[in-house]
A and B are shown apart, each in its own frame.
Chain A
Amino acid sequence: MLRCSGDPLPGAAAGAPATASVHEGMPSGTSSIGGVFESVSRGAPFETETHEALGGEEAVVGIEDFNLSYGDTQALFGVDMCVPRGKVTALIGPSGCGKSTLLRSVNRMNDLIDGVHTDGRMTLNGDSIYGRSVDVIELRKRIGMVFQKPNPFPMSIYENVVYSLRIDGVRDKQLLDEVCEESLRGAGLWDEAKDRLQSNALRMSGGQQQRLCIARAIAAEPEVLLLDEPCSALDPIATGKVEDLIDELRGHYSILMVTHNMQQASRTSDYTAFMYLGRLVEYGPTGDIFMQPRLRETEDYVTGRFG
């Protein structure tokens, strides 16, 4: 199994040596040169501050020296990180820092945009994501994604949930029914929706729609679940429900989540990654990132002194 390690990702190194490399990977520690941001904006090479705690985790998604550019504008610079299995990982950072871009790189949604170039390695359970022989459609079937704005399809609740099975050509009514119920239960929507499965999904409230999208995403039993600011379009009560849901999904699913809301990150996630200007600045257990970050810049951001 791949382990999460702070340093150049799995590849050849696996098992014990990887754990060792965590310590090698963070020699700078808290004593890092005063201006990480300055060096970043200068374009100077810089090392991500990855906490050792991650070394004990098993990686679902591994990202290694990943670069991405939209045409001439580079959006991600040498990102090294892993998404631990069964845990909730939050990506935080100021607007435009590349959180969403990184998230959308995992299921290659960026392919839909003209002029995107990528470089580096990304793996899903050891399988290459950007390899030349990868079938994007098959890859996306292994990854679930929930978007910023609830985007239920213009069809019934039932059909929304089983959409990914439908496109696989599943006709077995019993199986579809089972998956529908399971997913809606998983998304905490079953009690509200069971009596109106055939009614139009667009008639639900915003919060329900977003949980429906989550149900749709988990119906295909994804290996990793990507949440792109799932609560930013919701009111506080709906937000609370979605957060509770994320809490329940913890353990069953590996979740990578982008959020603008620092409290949300601290409430819901196990690990937090702080990004800035396309770089991954600091990555570690949520408690550490918020209570005792190693970099002053991270502290400034999480305490609201900037950003």
Chain B
Amino acid sequence: MSKSLKLTGTALAGTAVVLIAAHNFADRFVSPMPTDAPRLSAGPSNPDLGFMVAAAQADEATHDGRYGIGRPAAPEELAAWDVDVRPDGQGLPPGSGSVMEGEEAYLTYCAACHGDFAEGLGNWPPLSGGEGTLANEDPVKTIGSYWPYLSTVWDYVHRSMPYGNAQSLSTDEVYAITAYLLYSNFLVEDDFVLTNENFAEIEMPNADGFIIDDRPETEYTIWRTEPCMENCKDEVEITLRATDLGVTPVDPEQEEAAAQTGTGSSGEETVDTAAVAEDTGDMTETAPEAETAAMEIDMALAQDGESVFRQCQACHQVGENAQNRTGPHLNDLFGREMGGIDGFRYSNTLLEMGEEGGVWNEETLAKFLANPREYVQRTKMAFAGLRNDEDIAAVTEYLKTYSEN
């Protein structure tokens, strides 16, 4: 296949030179200078175009029909980007990590989402368990029960984890976390050390659990057929209804649109006024004058903060019914003792800071957000921090709108 493609490329190269020049010529000067075929074939008089033809011809000579575009990749560039690791261990850098080291790193970087025992929290993926469930009604697909190759774990942790701070782990930390994930799936003992040397020896339980796409044999042969048009079934009954489940999101705008069509524009006005009145009412109730004076909120800045907060909402909830998720809820954050939500599993550091009188305010929050791991050593928050002060100010302002103090 390479040969025939190359031949095509070479054969076309000669004509391509002229065509490219002509194309550029027409493209650039179509209005001031109408296309002039004889002049083109003789070579354009415009010096800017002359160099193009010359360059293309030079390329043809030196690059064997290639275009001569781009530049060679530097060895350092290849090393930086070519980091994929393959099932046989190709691509692994030298290094090692033990289960014990891995547990520590795992608890710091991974447990917030994946659980202390890799069992997965909430909707975050479980990484262990599920052995023997693949043929069950709801298979539990984890590293131990499903993933065919250990290289996939190493590769993914190395390049894409921790979530929100990818490519921050050292090589040995990746080995250690991978070793811990093997341990949490009962695939190695607690004294195991994973290295680039013994990596290829590890066989995953479900390595033989995959077949290559067999739809051409099992499906296409059956379904490539003339379909039935009449009397295809005797009876048809509804067996399931989506509305019985009630899991479809509500479309507020569409409701309004429907209401509008039904009742005319006066109906729409009523709806809007009511909504505004309701919201205004809420504001007066939750932010009495005295407290508003104590903490002034720049609403425009808070609006900006709402979009900055998108980076936080994977783990933190605010507003009505806010709950602790991967991170604690952030209602009434200002004035809150550090580590102050009962029942949330904070890092020991944050609990100690709270016991020593640490309180969340604009100043402490700004320090924490600028560099979480420096301000609270060994914090469980995986987030790398906000790079610029404007984002910190904006998100602080946004959080104030959910704080009564």
Query: Do chains A and B interact in one complex?
Result: no
- Residues in chain A within 8 A of chain B (CB atoms): none
